Structure 1
Amino acid sequence: MLGKCKRPEKAHELFQAMIDEGCAVNHESYTALVSAYGRSGLFDKAFSLLEQMKNTPDCQPDVHTYSILIKSCLQVFAYDKVQALLSDMESQGIRPNTITYNTLIDAYGKSKKFAEMESTLVEMLSEQDCEPDVWTMNSILRAFGNSGQIETMEKCFEKFQSAGIQAKLMTFNILLDSYGKAGNYEKMSAVMEYMQKYHYSWTIVTYNVVIDAFGRAGDLKQMEYLFRLMRSERMKPSCVTLCSLVRAYGLAGLPEKIDGVLRFVENSDVMLDIGFFNCLVDAYGRMGCFAEMKGVLEIMEQKGCRPDKVTYRTMIKAYSANKMIGHVKELRELMESTEGSQMTWLHREKPDFR
């Protein structure tokens, strides 16, 4: 848990306390500490501990230890370290398992390293005890779907199904998302009908995917219907849901609808993040609602959310598009200013943008 909270020093203190108090430490204890270091990007310490495990009786690293460290390396694109770990596993006589292969396939797919993804799948298929599963299928479908390779995605889906791997709810969410991003609303609707026919209950992820897809397509009527349906089923909208609504209304040039989203936010307990506020800034900027765009900074201050570089760059882009050079200059200076003076510009007298 300390590792997941990015507190590896505390995790190490606890590990040392176990030893000091005479508790037996085994390879699981070591693996937990390796994971804590890996999650925080402290690879020197993680690899050093891995070597220590090899030389400690009854604490030899296993496939789980290596898989955890491989995943941490993949998250920061340290592919050289991944190859070193795979070679080390082979020298130790430890074979990758399904989780190891799925971790590699998912990471390669997200990075659009399709050759590496496919070669890993081929290697996985050559192993007797490493059958691909629904996680393997989902990772590959997501990789091709996100890159717009819809035909390849569909062929892979057919092959996995013919191999006896059954689609799960997450699989349908991936298909919906892929078709939505590709603008293939006919196939997206077909997946929705299939899910309804075979009683697949929608989750927040499903709703977010279809709400975003119809919003991007400009079908606000269907988007709003799905949002109402979501709420009628007592499903709590997330920041992702609200961002989709704001983005759609911004593209449609409907600032009054965005005001409605903000009223909903005020009467709900949805935890807002920087992504939502940046989405608001972008929507108002697109519509030329500069007073409202600047007002988002006030809302952020009230909510205790600090603007980031994306916030300011989005505002600069909007001002630049409308040749408002003075405001562009002020914001650039603000980005370079010290932390203590970052909100100074916000409290200046508001100019009349009309």
Structure 2
Amino acid sequence: MSRFLFDVRRGEFSYVSGISSSKFNPKVRLSHIKVHSSKHDGDSRSVSELSDKSHTTRVSNARLPNLVTSRRDNVCRKKKRNVWNRVVGIQKPARRKVALSAIGPNSGVEMCNSVLKRLAKISDEKTLDFFERMKSNGKLTRNADAYRLALRALARREEWCRAESLIQEMVSLSECEVDIQVFNPLIYVCAKRGNVDWGTKWFNSMLERGVEPNVSTIGMLMNLYQKSSDLSQAEYTFSLMRSYKLKCVNAYSSMITIYTRSGLYAKSEEIINLMRRDKVIPNLENWLVQLNAYSQQGKLEEAEAILKSMIEAGISPNIVAYNTLITGYGKISNANAAKSIFQQLECIGLVPDETTYRSMIEGFVGGQL
């Protein structure tokens, strides 16, 4: 007996012969296919066609409403979220507006300061405007916090003369005491923007008012003077730091760097010795400037000793440290030592950079490395 079978996996009909009718039951194997017998061109064939009530169709029809409903629900949820986001976006400015409009002559100082802090994160202009409102409503008496916020806003705007007047008003009219929190933010902005004149002026002003500097004050000023190579101000600030018994490692690094750049190598070594005497623990930057101070003047034995001390202190030297040594050996035309340092890089897991190769080339040209 020969029949056409529908292969579900291939999705096509195939002609099969020699299948017993007792063993072949298409309704059992292919329950979703209905078989009809018909005559076509004189041949007796079995033509299979998909039944309208097939299992697959029933499953698909059963899932279709659920899929449509699920998609419709997702769309609705997205629309609801979009509407909610728009509502929230409208409400946020409204809340701020209500909070500001609620402030009046009868509002407490704490509430006013809370609003001022919030405005300080948004806009310097709005901060200063609200500060003036507080002043007109008598909310600034002994209110040092409000003055600090206003001074920070003025510092960011670099309105130094206005800030100077505000400090005078803070002391004379509002009976507030100035402290390190008043001057450090002003010095910070000056240090960031390289304003040596006003940075120095704020430092002198705080000293005149009896405010003692802290480590942050000294660090910011020394960084400012290092960038501008202002040796006299750096020396004055450094000596003042030691008189206050402060230990700012960045100040020592700045002094060593300034002296080394100026070719005052003996002065650089004095600062290194002062560090040991003052028992200041070096950081990575400080180790590097010490290494550079000795390498620049050709004292490579001392430089190697610094590198050894650095490793013993638990600080892993970076490529800058080895570049400094290579440059130093190039200056004194010590070819073997420079090559030895260069070959060590691979062993210790450091990759040579542009400065490394430039130092080797310069040493080769200048000292026949």
- TM-score w.r.t. the length of structure 1 is 0.50
The structure having more radius of gyration, on CA atoms, is 2
Q: Which has the higher contact order (CA 8 A, sep 6+)?
A: 1
